[in-house]
Structure 1
Amino acid sequence: MFNLILFGPPGSGKGTQSEKLMAKYGLKHLSTGDLLRSEISRQTSLGQAAKGFMDKGQLVPDEVVIGMISSALDENPHATGFLYDGFPRTSAQAEALDKLLHLKKASIGVMLALDVSEEELVKRLLKRGETSGRSDDTNEQVIRARITEYQTKTAAVADYYHQFNKVVMIKGEGTIDEIFGELCKEIDKRINR
């Protein structure tokens, strides 16, 4: 089983690139954002709690996210691999994911990190907010809070995976196909070992 983390701040293109990578490599897409938005749209208690955190630009608590990931893995025992989109977001989540994968006799193959400037991220998210219906994409102050939250908390995940030589930085500005090509080069190096 090949496990890939696609990493980057909000608006870096993780969702777009995830779809392309999933189609090319046959990986099961695990987007905690999509899982949470599904809960929100169904107005479950988990969804309502998650929405309160997301609307403030805060991260959803670890135990909620880890539980969702564990369930998703259990529901897909024959998957050839998983693409983690927007997860893990803290070093504690990274450690918990590694422990969970170890129990399932698997590990993270690589963490590909999309690098995009803050101004480009704000521009992309405001544009996405015009059509997405996501309340956290329509307010520049909330967007900047999310980026700051990413920089102060989530960047530590890269530090965690650096110790295992599993992090590769990918320039996240350019055409979708250019970025996709760079991501594929790094995946191919690891899948074809």
Structure 2
Amino acid sequence: MRIVLVGPPGAGKGTQAAFLAKNLSIPHISTGDLFRANISQGTELGKKAKAYMDAGDLVPDEVTIGMAKDRMEQADAVNGFLLDGFPRNVSQAEALDSMLQGADMKLDAVLDLEVPEDEVVKRIAGRRICRNDSAHVFHVSYKAPKTEGVCDACGGELYQRPDDTEDTVRNRLDVYHTQTEPIIDYYKAQGLVVTISALGEVQDVTRRAMGALNKSEG
């Protein structure tokens, strides 16, 4: 299957993408991974992206599209892929359509993870990270440490990342509504959108997603 995963920040896209890609035996292609791989390998696209990022500018669509195209042409993606973070806007969605048509392929589904805005803010703004090890993540509501402000695993100080504050989260949501949400209507016009609730336990959301994708394929 060829799937695009969409949803607001805090919807759990990365977590669900990993589970779904494994269940469907297709590669998980995330924009973040594409950027990191191209930059670390010193590709031409990676050098271009790094120059924009170092200057604090947004990476232009054509660079992102080029990276995605290169990745989708690799052998492991021939029989399908799950795109996470791409396309990010309608012009990227149109470019993806052109790419797929040129290769005589098409998308099977666009999986839209739906989460109420207040829940997104609660999920992200409640996160606390350990200064000693960023893999140690806690949450004031869902996974509180035994001692407030102290990591259970190593005793390090827990802190809130600057981009996890409520104001920053609401700003990220505004960007999502303005730039990315319009692709949902774009794909609805093609009859590709499958919307599920991303509330509840991770495995419940995965089951919901798999059920919806199987129905859409059928």
Determine if the TM-score, normalized by the shorter chain, exceeds 0.5: yes
Bigger Rg, which one: 2
Pair 1:47 & 2:46 matched:
no
Kept after mapping to 2: 8 A contact 1:158/1:167: yes
Pair 1:174 & 2:177 matched:
no
**Higher share of residues assigned helix:** 1
- The residue type equivalent to 1:47 in the other structure is K
Higher RCO structure (Cα 8 Å, ≥6 apart): 1
1:129 positional shift = 6.3
Kept after mapping to 2: 8 A contact 1:38/1:47: no
Pair 1:16 & 2:15 matched:
yes
- Residue identity (%): 37
Superposition pairs of residues 28-177 of structure 1, within 5 angstroms: 28-38=27-37, 45=47, 46-47=49-50, 49-50=52-53, 52-53=56-57, 60-76=59-75, 79-128=78-127, 130=129, 131=134, 137-177=163-203
Q: 1:177 to 1:128 in 2, by over 3 A?
A: same
1:41 positional shift = 7.2
Q: How many residues align?
A: 186
Give, in whole Å, the separation in 2 of the partners of 1:48 and 1:128: 31
Give the structure-1-normalised TM-score. 0.83
1:12 positional shift = 0.6
Structure 2, gaps ≥5 residues long:
138-160
Give, in whole Å, the separation in 1 of the partners of 2:94 and 2:37: 26
Deviates more, 1:182-191 or 1:110-119: 182-191
- The residue type equivalent to 1:22 in the other structure is A
- The residue type equivalent to 2:193 in the other structure is V
1:81 positional shift = 0.5
